[in-house]
């Protein structure tokens, strides 16, 4: 699986989250909400140190974006595209079948 981050989403993460050195953005599934492929679950993100077995990762603007292998159930068979919603002024997540 792969993760892609748009330039606008990258800028939002950088401006809004104040990510300490050695930390990154972890994407994971959370209960409640809805995605393009899930009912009752949505995408969550945490600022944390990467560790363990990574399922996917990418670095953009010096920030590591990653998904732990333990979250494979949520992303299975899909790539994650992180873009920016201009109206809501926040990241938006798209799933693309592999």
The domain total for the chain is 1
Angle of CA points 52, 54, 57, to nearest 5°: 135
Domain of residue 65: give its range: 3-97
Q: pLDDT tens across 2-46, in order?
A: 999 999 999 999 999 989 989 999 998 765 655 555 555 568 899
Chain segment 74-88, per-residue pLDDT in tens: 788 889 999 999 999
pLDDT score recorded for residue 32: 60
CATH of the domain at 19: 2.60.300.12
Q: What is the pLDDT of residue 51?
A: 82
Instruction: Give the span between the Cα atoms of 22 and 44, in whole angstroms.
Output: 20
Q: What is the DSSP letter of 19?
A: P
Looking at residue 34, what is its pLDDT? 58
DSSP type of residue 36: S
Give the separation between CA 45 and CA 50, rounded to whole angstroms.
13
């Amino acid at each position: 699986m792969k993760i892609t981050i748009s330039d606008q989403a990258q800028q939002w993460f950088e401006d809004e989250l104040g990510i300490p050195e050695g930390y990154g953005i972890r994407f994971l599934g959370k209960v409640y909400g809805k995605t393009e492929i899930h009912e009752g679950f949505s995408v969550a993100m945490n600022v944390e140190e990467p560790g363990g077995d990574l399922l996917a990762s990418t670095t953009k603007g010096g920030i590591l974006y990653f998904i732990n292998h333990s979250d494979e159930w949520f992303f299975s068979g899909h790539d994650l595209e992180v873009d920016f919603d201009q109206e809501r002024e926040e990241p938006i997540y798209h799933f693309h079948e592999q």
